[in-house]
Amino acid sequence: MPSKRTQRILKKLAIAAFLVAAFVAMFLAAFVYNPFEGDLRDVRDAVPREVDFYARKTNLRDDFGGDEGLVVSAGALPQPDFWGSLTDANGWRDLQPGPFATSFRRDHLPQLQQAVDGLAQLQAASGGFIDIARDIVGQELVLAGYTEDRSKQPAQPLQQAWWCVYARVSWRLRAAHGLLGWSMVQDQARAAGVEISAIDGLLQLKSPQMREPLFLARRLDCVMLGNSKDLLIQSLRLADGSVDEQPFGLAAHYAEGVTTPMQRWVEANQADEPNFVEFSAATSSIDGFRRFAAKWPDATNRDSMNERVLASFLNLKGWNSISGALMFEEGKLSTFGRVVLNSNLHTPFQTSFYRAEKQDKEQWLTPFLRMTPESACAAAALRVPAGEFLAAMHEALLPNEREMFDDVMRRCMFQGAQLADARDLIDKLKLSLLPRMGFVFRKNVPDLAKNEKGELYVPVVARAPIPQIAWVFWLRQDIRVGAEGRTPAEDLVDMLRKYGSSVFKFANIYNLPVNGLPEPVWEFTNPQIPGTGEIATIVFREFLVLSNSGPLIRDILRTRYSFDGARSLLDGEQYQRIADELPGAVNGFVWLRGAKLLEVLDDYRQASEQQNIEPDPEWIMQQRSAAEDVVRRTKYPQYPSIASLPKSLLEGEFQEAVRAYLREQWGKASAGFSAQDLPNIDQLRGMAKMVDAAYLQLELENNYIRFQGKVVTNW
């Protein structure tokens, strides 16, 4: 047993040790890092509400297989868990020469590699004290910033965006940040080529390798690194609880675009620990997006009817912002969010389109999907004023095409009266159409059926990779005309039959019977109709179907009534995997099947390879008369007929203009694709190979679009 004197010595030593430890702790807390300071409640509380772009990811370390998977080293990029499966997937090789992969390797990969190399140098310089996966990126990362200088009026685009990275870090990074303020540490950094100095409560970092200085700050466990001093000072005020500013996490567009739909998605999918990436962008403030929106989609694009029609629906210039999230699941990628619109920039048609009312999907969407054949590569259904849509299609025609179409309509009688033009016909039809439409797309398989003479019922001269397409219209049952009580849709079919040969120049008109149904499909054939050589239609029950393929309409009817075991889209395993997460009421729905879409893209690729081949002589013979008439009306309208052209003009300049027009139309027979488009087509083919099925669901309002979608992968 120690003596009393020894006990007193030990007691004094213990007190001294305690005092030294307390002094060291107070010194570290005052000048390095306070281990009892706690954590920031929410990193989003430090992000300014007005930022132009924002992205957030939690638990990034787990996506790379934990600390062992997320290895940061110079000259190498860490690979996420799914990377091996992705690069082994059928279709990955097709993506590599495409414009997306090429531009990423050229414009973004070097910057990403530079950032990883910088982190690797930081980790090496710490002598093992700092581990990137454990201490920096493992918990939570946020990237946010500005693309415009709001201190100027009006706001001016920035040559380089102001950005800031926010990260929850370990105690090691907190201590390291505190040590950076010491002159001894700054001297060592200066010797290594990095200049560290204090400025306005921040640490400024400079080196010869940096084009501009970086600024570093910390609040509790949140470290902030960025290229804008003002942005970091603003973030520090928010982290300190400033009442004069609001954080990004309380912004209305963030709540409506991310927080609320995320809660709905988690409940619908019963996801306990969802793996998501949040994103938000003020698209109207991003100069690159504004320049892109100014030119696409182009309502005046002479070479693309599809783009002109798309411009009727889509106006990117009116997109103020987009917010949402990407959800990573096993074999699936989901997304949801909201686009905020500037309704003042809507066209009259877009105003009516975005005001379409939502309806229970069981009342309109499910019946449509039940009649969509399982062989379809894509299907879409929209709650849209059908008459206004047809008017927008009419307006999307080129002026000379619209004039020719209107001229044809003026030669027809409809419901006992002569039509004024195509718009007159649309106005008479639209009262009988409900505000909804459906579209079905399928690979074009040539109809090889022959008559008793051994001739094709539906010959095709204008070869093109255009798929079979069907438009489905819903009919009002309370609008009927005349003593017989006929619908305007039935009168439309009668008009096509009456004037089919004389006005519309159809070569033949056939009935295509559908087993089990009294109504036949009416086929109107002309070898010059691209791809399919016909248009077809039927009125049955509450539907009017228009198509470029009679067999497609026949299969739609067989599917609706399950004739011969026909299966619908609803019967497929792919749809069943997503059915439960669809909301009860929707405005729009788009569905894709990767394998079926690949068949269509293969047709486009083959056509693109052959586009530069000289026009087919038989095709030239079929087209020459019409081409001469078009050239005369567009280039030489002062002459009333071909015969009135001067001989020198007719045999010289006119013939050359006709040959140029024919070559142009031959190119358009490939649906606007050429050999130069092969990288884009191959990129789409690669994506199609990697996708089993995908859907996109829309809810439309006058000032926003709410979307939700999912991709079921093949890898």
Which residue blocks in 466-566 are alpha helix, DSSP H?
488-499, 550-560
Average pLDDT score over residue span 553-567? 91
Query: What local confidence, expressed as pLDDT, does residue 352 receive?
Result: 79
The reply to whether 20 falls in a domain is no
Instruction: Tally the residues of the chain.
Output: 715
Q: Indicate the residue among 221, 247, 273 that finishes a domain.
A: 247
Report the candidate in 130, 228, 227 with the shortest Cα–Cα distance to residue 180.
130
Average pLDDT score over residue span 72-81? 70
Domain count, the chain: 3
Query: What local confidence, expressed as pLDDT, does residue 713 receive?
Result: 87
Ranges 1-5, 456-460, 599-603, 642-646: which has the least confidence: 1-5
The reply to whether 132 falls in a domain is yes
Instruction: Give percent above pLDDT 70 in the chain.
Output: 88
The reply to whether 116 falls in a domain is yes
The reply to whether 16 falls in a domain is no
Residue 503 has which token pair?
């006005």
Report the candidate in 329, 334, 327, 333 with the shortest Cα–Cα distance to residue 277.
327
pLDDT tens string 438-488? 999 999 998 888 888 888 999 998 778 889 999 999 998 877 765 567 889
pLDDT tens string 686-699? 889 999 999 999 88
Query: What local confidence, expressed as pLDDT, does residue 25 receive?
Result: 47
Choice between 702 and 51, residue whose per-residue pLDDT is larger: 51
Q: Are 531 and 512 members of one domain?
A: yes
The reply to whether 597 falls in a domain is yes
Q: Are 216 and 314 members of one domain?
A: no
Q: Are 451 and 393 members of one domain?
A: yes
pLDDT at 671 > cutoff 50: no
142 Cβ contact partners less than 8 Å away, ≥ 6 residues apart: 43, 44, 47, 54, 55, 56, 165, 166, 167
Q: Indicate the residue among 215, 231, 247 that finishes a domain.
A: 247
Residue 156 has which token pair?
């001016």
Q: Are 227 and 267 members of one domain?
A: no
Whole-number Å distance between alpha carbons of 305 and 703: 27
Q: Are 513 and 408 members of one domain?
A: yes
Average pLDDT score over residue span 537-552? 93
Q: Are 215 and 276 members of one domain?
A: no
The reply to whether 584 falls in a domain is yes
Whole-number Å distance between alpha carbons of 66 and 78: 12
pLDDT at 22 > cutoff 50: no
Query: What local confidence, expressed as pLDDT, does residue 585 receive?
Result: 83
Written in H, E and C, the secondary structure of 58-81 is ECHHHHCCCCCCCCCECCECCCCC
pLDDT tens string 277-298? 999 999 988 888 888 888 888 8
Q: What is the DSSP string of 169-207?
A: --HHHHHHHHHTTSHHHHHHHHHTT-EEEEETTEEEEE-
Q: How confident is the model at residue 146 (pLDDT cuts 50, 70, 90)?
A: very high
Q: Are 546 and 486 members of one domain?
A: yes
Q: Indicate the residue among 322, 345, 368 that finishes a domain.
A: 345
| 93 CB-side CA count, 13 A | 2
CB 539 within 8 A of CB 487: yes
pLDDT at 53 > cutoff 70: yes
pLDDT at 159 > cutoff 90: no
The reply to whether 193 falls in a domain is yes
Q: Are 414 and 493 members of one domain?
A: yes
Ranges 3-7, 188-192, 424-428, 554-558: which has the least confidence: 3-7
Side chain identity at 595, as an amino acid letter? A
Query: What local confidence, expressed as pLDDT, does residue 533 receive?
Result: 92
Q: Are 333 and 373 members of one domain?
A: no
Average pLDDT, the chain: 83
Average pLDDT score over residue span 254-275? 84
pLDDT at 659 > cutoff 50: yes
Residue range of the domain that includes 555: 347-605
Q: Are 354 and 404 members of one domain?
A: yes
440 Cβ contact partners less than 8 Å away, ≥ 6 residues apart: 372, 373, 376, 378, 379, 469, 470, 472, 552, 556
Predicted TM-score (pTM) of the model is: 0.81
| 395 sits in which H/E element | helix 386-396
Query: What local confidence, expressed as pLDDT, does residue 305 receive?
Result: 72
The reply to whether 713 falls in a domain is no
